[in-house]
Amino acid sequence: MVKVFASKKGDVVIDWLVVIAALLVTAILFIVAWQVMGKINTAFQDNPHMLNESKEQTSQFYTKMNGWMDFIFAFLLFGCWIASMIFAYFIDSHPVFFVLSLLMLVFVIIFGAVASNTFEAFTDTTAFSTAENAFPIMLFIMNHLVETVVVIIFSVAIVLYGKYSRG
């Protein structure tokens, strides 16, 4: 079997397209899960047959849920960023390919803008408008996804092409 894509150096574009899509899906799933947990919490609190201890634990879990989901989202983004920088350091690449890489990464920036607009349209609906106060870190990242992607791209490019030395 012949390998069509033998080199893995150009996969950074595909990798960041997947990361952006995963961030979008994760953000939407976190908001939906938080909304569902809110409805479960309300049902528990309104049920007279539930024990007070169950009501209290459900309420505590619901109030803490958005905080840890917010930090998990930020951790995922920064973890992917750091991993990209580490992997970029171990790739041998010539600085001549910097311009070509920038042209390819324009697609990543465009996809980031589409993902950001999709997320904004999702959170602008009345059903999910309460998420604006519940997830400040996630909303900041998703509303500024294009700027975040540009910073990540340039930091990875600096690591990738800045270490070049004539050998």
Predicted TM-score (pTM) of this structure: 0.83
Q: Is residue 91 part of a domain?
A: yes
Residue 44 has pLDDT above 80, yes or no: yes
- 74 versus 2: the higher-pLDDT residue is 74
Q: Is residue 135 part of a domain?
A: yes
User: Would you list the DSSP string of the chain?
Assistant: ---S----TTHHHHHHHHHHHHHHHHHHHHHHHHHHHHHHHHHHHH-TTS-HHHHHHHHHHHHHHHHHHHHHHHHHHHHHHHHHHHHHHTS---GGGHHHHHHHHHHHHHHHHHHHHHHHHHHTSGGGTTHHHH-HHHHHHHHTHHHHHHHHHHHHHHHHHHT----
Q: Is residue 140 part of a domain?
A: yes
| pLDDT (tens digit per residue) in 74-118 | 999 999 999 988 888 887 776 677 777 777 788 889 999 999 999
Q: Is residue 112 part of a domain?
A: yes
What is the pLDDT, as a whole number, of residue 1? 42
Domain that holds residue 146: 11-162
Q: Is residue 3 part of a domain?
A: no
Question: How many domains does the chain divide into?
Answer: 1
Q: Is residue 123 part of a domain?
A: yes
Q: Is residue 1 part of a domain?
A: no
Q: Is residue 5 part of a domain?
A: no
What is the pLDDT, as a whole number, of residue 11? 64
